[in-house]
Structure 1
Amino acid sequence: MNITGNTIFIPGATSGIGLALALELRAKGNTVIVGGRRTDLLDLIAADYPGIDTVRIDTADPASIDSAAKQVLARHPDLNVLVTMAGIMRVEDWHRPESFLASAESIITTNVLGPIRLIAAFIEHLRAQPDATIMTVSSGLAFAPLKATPSYNASKAAIHMLSESIRLQLADTSVKIVELEPPAVRTALLPGQETSEFAMPLDEFVAEVVALIEAQPDATEIQVERVKFLRYGEARGDYDQVVATLNRADPHGK
């Protein structure tokens, strides 16, 4: 992915990593469209950052995805990058189904079906572009499980393998598949994570991500240094130690 000259849609970018990445990519000379469920936040972004377009989208709702895709493509026919940022994370207790089933279904709908539906809504358009990118967003937890968040871990593992697979299928097209693999970052993804000393500061994470994209435009996985502990435990042969360390770090394993 080139660092500049793109038109980029980032659903799930009204806060946290999504918004910070949107602002950094805009500063690098890209046209950026931010998507989200809350119109009040979208209105604030449009007011605070003139030049960033916004569209309402609920990635858990297929009709909303279809409507947003039509709006984005009508206003930005040169769109060539889709970042499937939207996701949710919840602590679960799998001892009793009443304590995890609804959460698990919601997480899979948002974190797995959401990106799949987004890609389906944009793939024909992106294939028609001379140079296009789909950036998926997995997690270090796709490679080492956090005890407290089983469904989230599974959803991100699914995104990793989905990325690997569609990269193979789309190799005969102009569409590149890039997987962003964050570690714990200081956002509101879980309660208390914004101030967790174990989580990476948001500005440092996004700055490193943008620097990696700029330095490695052909990379298939974007890995900041701090995620490699989780990402490569199995390859290094210390997977059990990684899992133990992750799960005793603090109550959320961050």
Structure 2
Amino acid sequence: MKTTGNTIFFTGGTSGLGLGLARRFRDLGNTVIISGRRQDLLDRIAAEDGIEGVALDVADPDSIARAFEQVTSAHDVNVLITMAGIMQVEDLHDPAHLATSEETIGINLLGTIRTITAFTPYLLKQADPAILTVSSGLAFVPLAMTPTYSATKAAVHSYTQSLRAQLANTPLQVIEVVPPAVRTALLNQEDDERAMPLDEYLDETMELLQKNPDADEILVDRVRILRDAERENRYDQMIGLLNSVG
């Protein structure tokens, strides 16, 4: 993927990793359009950062269709980045967790698949096209307190691999971004010293994208302990450490 001269559409992008990446891509000379459910937040970011925003709820197929038409009628988008997602704690002893599970699947997995489905035929006609999905280190070793989040990220990883295989004979590049825990509002990790500082994550990620334009996965060093756990026969150890109490 080239890292400048693109027109990039983000699902999500109003906070955390999404907004951070949007700013970094903008600063490299890309046209960036973000999306989110809150129009007031999109308006504020447009005023403060000069980044255009489009209203989008990825849990709603009609909203995806409207956003696709709005964005592609105004811009020659050649890169899609599927950032939108939620992370919720669930108690699997309590049947009430099912509502959280269904919401998480609707946003993290179905939202990703539906958005990619809407954009893929269009992107295949563009110059230098790319799709960047966003999974997680928890796709490879789950965090038990967020079981459906971890499961959806594992599914995004698998779906991305299939997408890449099916598009292998086309110019559309498929890249999986695999973050570790980062200090963002996701699961209230802003001040968690165990999580990677946001600017450090953004610095390393952008450096990897620039140095490895043909990469299938973008893996900062801190996520490899999870990404490579099964490959290196450390899975049982890592799932125990990640989910230990105290």
TM over 0.5: yes
Query: Which residue number in structure 2 is paired with residue 200 of structure 1?
Result: 196
SS of corresponding position for 1:94: coil
Query: Which residue number in structure 2 is paired with residue 55 of structure 1?
Result: 54
Query: Which residue number in structure 2 is paired with residue 156 of structure 1?
Result: 153
Measure the CA separation in 1 of the matches of 2:230 and 2:168.
27
Structure 2: 5+ residue stretches without partners: none
TM superposition score normalised by structure 1: 0.95
Measure the CA separation in 2 of the matches of 1:246 and 1:226.
14
Aligned residues: 246
Check whether the contact 2:2–2:128 (CA below 8 A) recurs between aligned residues. Answer: no
Equivalent positions of 1:58-207 (< 5 A) are 58-76=57-75, 78-98=76-96, 100-191=97-188, 193-207=189-203
Check whether the contact 2:132–2:176 (CA below 8 A) recurs between aligned residues. Answer: yes
Measure the CA separation in 2 of the matches of 1:47 and 1:222.
31
**Given residue 81 of structure 1, which amino acid in structure 2 is its aligned partner?**
V
- Residue 75 of structure 1 deviates from its aligned partner by 0.8
Query: Which residue number in structure 2 is paired with residue 223 of structure 1?
Result: 219
Deviations 1:33-65 (A, max 9, x none): 011111111011110112x21111011111111
Measure the CA separation in 1 of the matches of 2:141 and 2:152.
13
SS of corresponding position for 2:176: strand
**Given residue 54 of structure 1, which amino acid in structure 2 is its aligned partner?**
G
Runs ≥4 in structure 1, deviation > 4 angstroms? none
Measure the CA separation in 1 of the matches of 2:64 and 2:234.
41
Q: Percent identity?
A: 55
SS of corresponding position for 1:111: helix
Measure the CA separation in 2 of the matches of 1:145 and 1:90.
13
Alpha-carbon RMSD across the aligned residues, in angstroms, is: 1.0
Measure the CA separation in 2 of the matches of 1:61 and 1:186.
28
